[in-house]
């Protein structure tokens, strides 16, 4: 039996029913990753021995008749931004290259409590800053659909690991699009939950008011199972929401009649033609399934990129102040620096430990927060954020969901945008607003370009309405086959 190309739900069923052992599953995926990841570069580390040992442990649990979690036997990759006790958490930075976590993120604890098998940690843009994974200080990740192209970012390794079928589910993080954009570039599905839905405890902070943990998978059904495991209140994250976690998989079965979908028509004007066709095609498909589709606008969304690129770097400049050579990771002595003593050590550590994009963000953020500029930049960005939030609130008085593109264009070539940070920032046009407003958003594959590259569409919903988001995306996948297309490598 060929185990690859299976969904997480299917692998779990095979394991629980006894048709396949957990070791067989893990071995199959590990071997696949070992064979192909030299070309793709999705992983920074594979947990071979640990994953096999855990498979055997779960097998004993199953054979003893004990009750198993919903992810029992499912191999999952984790973006290298979540702390995991006894494991390196590098954030793809030289600063943390050898940093071993003393504790475990709630998101990881919850996956393990549901009997998932973590098979490795995936590459990313350094500290999740970027949209191509080219800002990783620790390696290159390639798009499985075209090895000369980027996988997107910052969860590029996560998206590539699912796209190349090294695992059915990957865990990523999304501050301004980092789950949805690489999902779109790599032809997989990705969900950024509502701010507060998944605990950020143990997620290395980039921009604390925007960061969320979420899953990537091929099918929406797998996203539903993964979100159910990840989500829930956590007393260790004061921004996590004390709300029930619905049975997302059950809502996938609900019919779609009467769901109101707002088409973000303004977002269709400056798009790659294949992406425009994917969005309009999806609108037709959803209408044929019973949804009511009408045009809707988010009038301030055009300020999203400017707003995000003030707020995110401002928060980052504060969050990254902790990497000073004293408490975490790298320490470079002052001898290497113009200034001596403690200040020299700080300078030497931070100039050596951070890459150019991280330094750029720290400088932008420090500038935007500094006396004399605070009102003109940071405060103004907070006001624009409020206007964007109000746009969403108004739109969701009329419709249940918003439909539009995930990205303006498909995956670009490696190196194509490395000299032009602004052009790279502009790729985040359609994704950052969901983070600024805190709403849940999901990208699903919805077409291919003439060159055969995957493109994604984005659905957004009211806060905490992930069930609706997954239901409609699930119906869409049941009616189309874009999510079943595979890159040639796989
Ligand atoms: N591309 C965006 C940035 O560079 C988003 C990153 C993210 O979501 N982590 O900040």
pLDDT digits (tens, 9 = 90+) for 8-33: 999 999 999 999 999 999 999 999 99
pLDDT of 490 strictly over 80: no
The ligand 1 atom at the shortest distance from the C-alpha of residue 361 is 10
If one residue of 131, 317, 424 were mutated to test the ligand 1 pocket, choosing by the most ligand atoms within 8 A of its CB, it would be 131
Contact 410, 447 (CB under 8 A): no
Residue 373 lies in a domain: no
Please say whether the beta carbons of 56 and 176 come within 8 A. Answer: no
**SS3 assignment, position 38:** helix
191 or 328, higher pLDDT: 191
Q: Is the pLDDT of residue 354 over 80?
A: yes
- For residue 360, being part of any structural domain is answered with no
Ligand 1 atom at minimum distance from 357 CA: 4
Q: What percent of the chain has pLDDT over 70?
A: 99
Is the CB of residue 202 less than 8 Å from the CB of residue 235? no
* 180 contacts 154 by C-beta, under 8 angstroms: no
Judge whether 455 and 449 are in contact, CB under 8 Å: yes
In this model, does residue 338 exceed pLDDT 80?
A: no
At 2 the pLDDT is 78
Neighbours of 110 (CB within 10 A): 21
For residue 174, the ligand 1 atom closest to its alpha carbon is: 8
What does the mean pLDDT of the chain come to?
96
> What is the whole-number distance in angstroms between the Cα of residue 374 and the centre of ligand 1?
22
Which residue puts its alpha carbon closest to atom 4 of ligand 1?
130
Q: Which of 152, 155, 177, 436 to mutate to test the pocket of ligand 1 (most atoms within 8 A of CB)?
A: 177
Q: Helix, strand or coil for residue 212? A: strand
Is the pLDDT assigned to residue 256 strictly greater than 80? yes
| pLDDT above 70: residue 264 | yes
- Asked, for residue 140, whether it belongs to a domain, the answer is yes
58, two tokens: 């779960």
Residue 339, in any domain of the structure:
no
pLDDT of residue 336: 65
407 CA from centroid of ligand 1 (Å): 13
Which CATH number does the domain housing residue 40 bear?
A: 3.90.1300.10
Region at 150 (left for phi over 0; alpha for psi -120 to 50; beta for the rest)? beta
**Is residue 41 predicted with pLDDT exceeding 80?**
yes
Are the CB atoms for 173 and 148 separated by under 8 Å? no
Alpha carbon of residue 4 to chain centroid: 23
Which of 237, 210, 44 shows the shortest CA–CA distance to 126?
44
Atom of ligand 1 nearest to the CA of 308: 10
Q: Is residue 76 part of a domain?
A: yes
Instruction: Identify the pLDDT of residue 1.
Output: 58
| Structural domain boundaries, residue 147 | 3-255
**What confidence score (pLDDT) does residue 255 get?**
83
Task: Check if the beta carbon of residue 29 is closer than 8 Å to that of residue 65.
Answer: no
Check pLDDT > 80 for residue 249.
Answer: yes
Spatial CB neighbours of 259, under 8 Å, sequence gap ≥ 6: 286, 290, 291, 292, 400, 401, 468, 471, 472
Q: How many domains does the chain have?
A: 1
Would you call 67 exposed, middle or buried from its count of C-beta atoms within 10 A (0-12, 13-18, 19+)?
A: exposed
3-class state of residue 483 by DSSP: helix
Per-residue tokens: 118: 């973590």
Pocket test for ligand 1, best of 81, 123, 129, 430 (most atoms within 8 A of CB): 129
Residue 97 CA to residue 308 CA, distance in Å, equals 28
Average pLDDT over residues 218-224: 98
Please check whether residue 143 is in contact with residue 149, taking contact to mean a CB–CB distance below 8 angstroms: yes
Hey, how many other C-beta atoms are within 10 angstroms of the C-beta on 10?
16
Distance CA 7, CA 169 (A): 8
Ligand 1 geometric centre to CA of 175 (Å): 6
Residue 115 lies in a domain: yes
Q: What is the per-residue pLDDT for 254?
A: 86
Q: What residues does ligand 1 touch, defined as CB less than 6 Å away?
A: 128-131, 154, 174-178, 206, 312, 428
Give the contacts of 318 (CB within 8 A, at least 6 positions apart): 365, 369
Q: Report the atom number in ligand 1 closest to the C-alpha of 131.
A: 1
As a whole number, mean pLDDT of residues 257-286 equals 96
- Domain annotation covers residue 277: no
Residue for token pair 């001898």: 335
Give me the mean pLDDT over the 35-61 stretch: 98
The half-sphere exposure of 433 on its side-chain side, counting CA atoms within 13 A, is 31
The reply to whether 403 falls in a domain is no
**Could you tell me the CA-to-CA distances from 308 to 192, 205, 403 in Å, in that order?**
16, 16, 21
Written as one string, the DSSP assignment of 333-360 is: -GGGSSS-HHHHHHHHHHHHHS-HHHHH
Q: Per-residue pLDDT tens for 472-482?
A: 999 999 999 99
Quick one: DSSP state of residue 104?
-
Distance CA 468, CA 128 (A): 28
Predicted pLDDT at 337: 73
- CA dist 411 and 409 (Å) reads 7
- Alpha-carbon distance of 279 to 245, in angstroms, equals 30
Query: Could you give the residue numbers annotated as active site?
Result: 79, 154, 178
Alpha carbon of 424 to ligand 1 centroid (Å): 10
Which H or E element spans position 264? strand 260-264
Task: Report CA(389)–ligand 1 centroid distance (Å).
Answer: 19
């Amino acid at each position: 039996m060929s185990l690859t190309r299976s969904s997480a739900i299917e692998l779990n069923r095979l394991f629980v029913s006894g048709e396949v052992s957990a070791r067989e599953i893990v071995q199959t995926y590990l071997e696949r990753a070992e064979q192909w990841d030299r070309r793709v570069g999705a992983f920074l580390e594979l947990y071979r021995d640990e994953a096999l040992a855990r498979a055997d442990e779960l097998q004993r649990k199953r054979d003893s008749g004990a009750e198993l979690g919903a992810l029992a036997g499912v191999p999952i990759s984790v973006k290298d931004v979540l702390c995991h006790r006894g494991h390196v958490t590098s954030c793809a930075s030289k600063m943390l290259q050898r940093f071993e976590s003393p504790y475990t993120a709630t998101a990881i604890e919850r996956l393990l409590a549901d009997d998932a098998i973590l098979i490795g940690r995936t590459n990313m843009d350094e500290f999740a800053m970027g949209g191509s994974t080219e800002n990783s200080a620790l390696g290159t990740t390639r798009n499985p659909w075209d090895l000369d192209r980027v996988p997107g970012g910052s969860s590029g390794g996560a998206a590539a690991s699912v796209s190349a079928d090294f695992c059915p589910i990957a865990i990523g993080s999304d501050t301004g699009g980092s789950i949805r954009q690489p999902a779109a570039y790599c032809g997989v599905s990705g969900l950024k939950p509502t701010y507060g839905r998944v605990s950020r405890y143990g997620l290395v902070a980039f921009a604390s008011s925007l960061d969320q943990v979420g899953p990537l998978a091929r099918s929406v059904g797998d996203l539903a199972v993964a979100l159910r495991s990840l989500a829930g209140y956590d007393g260790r994250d004061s921004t996590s929401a004390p709300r029930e976690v619905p049975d997302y998989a059950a809502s996938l079965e609900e019919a779609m009649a009467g769901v109101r979908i707002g088409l973000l028509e303004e977002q269709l004007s400056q798009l790659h033609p294949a992406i425009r066709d994917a969005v309009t095609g999806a609108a037709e498909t959803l209408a044929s399934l019973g949804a009511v589709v009408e045009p809707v606008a988010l009038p301030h969304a055009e300020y999203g990129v400017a707003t995000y690129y003030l707020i995110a770097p401002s928060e980052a400049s504060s969050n990254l102040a902790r990497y000073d050579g004293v408490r975490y990771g790298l320490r470079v002595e002052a001898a290497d620096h113009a200034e001596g003593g403690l200040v020299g050590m700080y300078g030497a550590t931070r100039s050596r430990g951070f890459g150019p994009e991280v330094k750029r963000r720290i400088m932008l953020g420090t500038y935007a927060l500094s006396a004399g500029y605070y009102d003109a930049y940071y405060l103004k960005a907070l006001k624009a954020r409020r206007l964007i939030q109000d746009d969403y609130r108004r739109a969701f008085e009329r419709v249940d969901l918003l439909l539009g593109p995930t990205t303006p264009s498909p995956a670009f070539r490696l190196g194509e945008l490395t000299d032009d940070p602004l052009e790279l920032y502009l790729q985040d046009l359609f994704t950052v607003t969901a983070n600024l407003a805190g709403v849940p958003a999901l990208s699903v594959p919805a077409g291919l370009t003439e060159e055969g590259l995957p493109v994604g569409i984005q659905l957004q919903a009211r806060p905490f309405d992930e069930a609706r988001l997954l239901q409609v995306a699930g119906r869409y996948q049941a009616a189309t086959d874009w999510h079943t297309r595979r890159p040639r490598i796989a």
